[in-house]
Chains A and B, each alone.
Chain A
Amino acid sequence: MKKLSLKWKLTLLYTFLTTLLTGVVLAVLLYLGSGSILASTQSRLKERVYEGFELIDVKEDTLAVDSDFSDVEEGVYLSAYAESGALLSGRVPYGFSSSVPFRENTVQTAVLGGSTWYVFDASSQLKGYGPVRIRGICSVSSLEEELRLLIRLALILLPLTILLAAALCFSLVKRTLRPVFRITRTAREICEKKDLSRRINLQGGRDEITILGETFDSMLDQLQEAFERQKQFTSDVSHELRTPLAVILSQCDELLSLPSLTSEERAGLSTIRDRAGNLTRLISQLLFLSRTDQNRQALTLEPLDFTVLTKTVLEEQELLAREKDITLETEVEEHIQIRGDETLLIRLWLNLIENAISYTPVGGTVKAGLSADEHAVVGYVKDTGVGISKENLPRIWERFYRADPSRSDSSHSGLGLSMVKWIVQAHGGSIEAKSEEGKGSLFRFTLPR
């Protein structure tokens, strides 16, 4: 029962109830019906017997019986007897035997040769003749036959009624539940496509499901608004912060150009300038990501030599690696042409390698490579750094996530890998990270050609 859908459960329940009700009603009708038919037959029998006396006259000491007396009217046979039991007039149905004893004023039921009969006797003193008995007989078998027919009809009608009821119930339940399916479908679409702008839009009707749908929609309105406000907030705040930072930077530059500064003042100003620069960069990255959230970050696709691009970045990053006494090994295949956004692809390499260098201890090795086949370009960056623990590995793509929170390296925003992931995905590719704590990490991305 638990596995059945609501649609089937309701259909079964309604069908069962309909069957039960119809059955009960039919049974009661049949019972009452048969009783009243028998009762009315008995009273008809009595009536005919009493009428029979009126059809007999005494003329000059003999009985004059009207011809109507012998007619079988309303299934009732009449016969008149003398006190001795001799048949005077009338008819007895075929197969009925006269062995049924005479019993006045009661309806007897006689079973003879497989047929059932009602027998009613009455006697009267006819003036100038003496007592005459009249017996009325009527067949119950034909009545029972009719009743049996009725029951048979009911037995055929009942399943038909059940089937009809089931079909009607099913279509009705289906129609009633249709809005529920729509609610489910909309919710699923929102989950799959991450599109909060979808609505259920149940129209008309004031039933409970329509109201549920409307409530759902208004909840979605609020959700979407909150979501959009949050995105807008990031974008607004970043814009608002950028202007004063630009002023701080330009003021620092102006002051630093003064020849009269002491070395201490110069160092202090430089620190302010560097930090402000880092902040500006962080805000730019936040804005970048907020544009990707709003699908507003455009790609400028150009055909480009990915080999040259990669080598250029690696040569530049080698300087950075050398400062930390890290060996940067490269393995770049020649002449790899792709279509992509040049600045973003440079960004991809810069972030991956900066990341590797910053998590690799002095004296370590970072290895980067690029290769291609007909369908895809594969790039990787491998380091002998601190690595990432298994439980943290899936979290590295999150914004502001840092493997080691104690690191206060302010040039590392914690946004680098989020950007990397977006860049790869925006080019239709994918990226994976493997890592072993204490041994190092491997980042490998694949871009379609």
Chain B
Amino acid sequence: MRILIAEDEKALNRLLKKKLEEQSYSVDACLDGQEAWDYLDSTDYDVILLDIMMPKKSGLEVLKTLRRKGIHTPVLLLTAKDSIEDRVLGLDAGADDYLVKPFAFEELLARIRVMLRKQTGSASSLLSIGDLSLDLNSHQVFREGKELSLSSKEFALLRYLMMNQGRILSRDQIEQHIWNYDYAGSSNMVDVYIRYLRKKIDDPFEKKLIHTVRGAGYVLREEPD
């Protein structure tokens, strides 16, 4: 899951990036509206955190342009204390949620999970396919009731696959959603990670869940016997 942070307050920006990365999200952070737009123009994000008051281009402008272009990525607005008007304007312009600064970090994480869940149409924080389940809150993964230990990138990859279960995902798509802008691309890093993940969640079990679609990419689904 890839998240864009647009926040001009440097300390908060850095903190947000660090905290979100600890949750295995891949994060790009920028300091003004124009830069935010450059990022949005070149990559798909799963969630966008937008500060309303930003130099060059305000968060509201970015949001409006985004929606006008038909991009429906969930947007969470970060607003100052006393700007009810901004919040109303923001929600009307197509924001999915807002948080008033200063906010508790746990709350931000919970709101992000809610937004991600909405996309998959799941009501709880537990994603599952067959006998494999993944807890978005606690970062635990179980198969046949047994807990599996995954590295943070493996978890990020599985989370992305599970949120998009049944959909064929290309290598590029996976690369874009698992790694942030800072990642120095490599042709088969995704293949290595899929192989890695398979060793943990598929190989020890009879029923395989990760499937290769020749020439297209990978898909997580239950195949009929």
Chain A residues with CB under 8 Å of chain B are: 239, 242-243, 246-247, 249, 280-281, 284-285, 287-288, 291, 297, 300, 302, 304, 308-309, 312-313, 315-316, 320, 342-343, 346-347, 350-351, 411, 419
Contact = CB atoms under 8 A, between A and B. Distances in A.
A291 B186 contact: no
Contacts of B144: none
Contacts of B189: 343, 346-347, 350
A250 B186 CA distance: 18
A312 B153 contact: no
Interface residues of B, number: 25
B183 interface: yes
Contact of A246 (B21, B43, B151, B152): B43
A10 B70 CA distance: 81
B195 A281 contact: no
A285 B184 contact: yes
A249 B41 CA distance: 12
A239 B195 CA distance: 31
Which of A343, A350, A411 has the most CB atoms of chain B within a 10 A radius of its CB?
A: A343
B153 A316 contact: no
B184 A288 contact: yes
B151 A247 contact: no
A284 B183 contact: yes
A247 B42 contact: yes
Nearest to B184: A288
Q: Which 8 A-B pairs have the closest CB atoms?
A: A246-B42, A288-B184, A281-B185, A284-B184, A284-B185, A285-B184, A312-B196, A316-B192
B138 interface: no
B207 interface: no
Interface in B181-206: 181-189, 191-193, 195-196, 199
Nearest to B195: A312
Contacts of B193: 346
Given A300-B21, A309-B196, A343-B153, 17 more contacts: A242-B181, A243-B41, A243-B42, A246-B42, A247-B41, A281-B184, A281-B187, A284-B183, A285-B184, A288-B182, A288-B184, A300-B152, A308-B199, A320-B188, A343-B179, A347-B186, A347-B189
A312 B192 CA distance: 6
Interface string B167-189: 00000100000010111111111
Interface of B: 21, 38, 41-43, 151-153, 172, 179, 181-189, 191-193, 195-196, 199
Contacts, number: 68
Contacts of A249: 172
Contacts of B192: 312-313, 316, 346, 350
A369 B186 CA distance: 22
Contacts of A304: 151
A243 B38 contact: yes
Nearest to B196: A312
A242 B28 CA distance: 14
27 contacts: A239-B38, A243-B38, A243-B42, A246-B43, A247-B41, A249-B172, A280-B185, A281-B184, A281-B186, A287-B182, A288-B184, A291-B182, A304-B151, A309-B196, A312-B192, A312-B196, A316-B188, A342-B151, A342-B152, A343-B183, A346-B189, A346-B193, A350-B186, A350-B188, A350-B189, A350-B192, A351-B186
Nearest to B18: A298
Given A246-B43, A247-B41, A302-B152, A315 B185 contact: no
A164 B182 CA distance: 67
B68 to A, nearest CB: 18
A225 to B, nearest CB: 23
Contacts of A284: 183-185
A304 B182 CA distance: 22
Contacts of B21: 300
A229 to B, nearest CB: 20
B182 A312 contact: no
A328 to B, nearest CB: 14
B165 to A, nearest CB: 22
B191 A316 contact: yes
A373 B45 CA distance: 43
A285 to B, nearest CB: 5
Contacts of B153: 342-343
A215 B224 CA distance: 78
Contacts of B183: 284, 288, 343
A312 B152 CA distance: 17
A130 to B, nearest CB: 125
Contacts of A242: 42, 181
A309 B182 CA distance: 22
Given A288-B182, A291-B182, A312 B151 contact: no
B199 A316 contact: no
A320 B187 CA distance: 11
Nearest to B44: A250
Nearest to B21: A300
Contacts of B187: 281, 411
Contacts of A291: 182
A288 B180 CA distance: 12
A316 B195 contact: yes
B185 A308 contact: no
A150 B195 CA distance: 103
A266 to B, nearest CB: 13
A350 B153 CA distance: 17
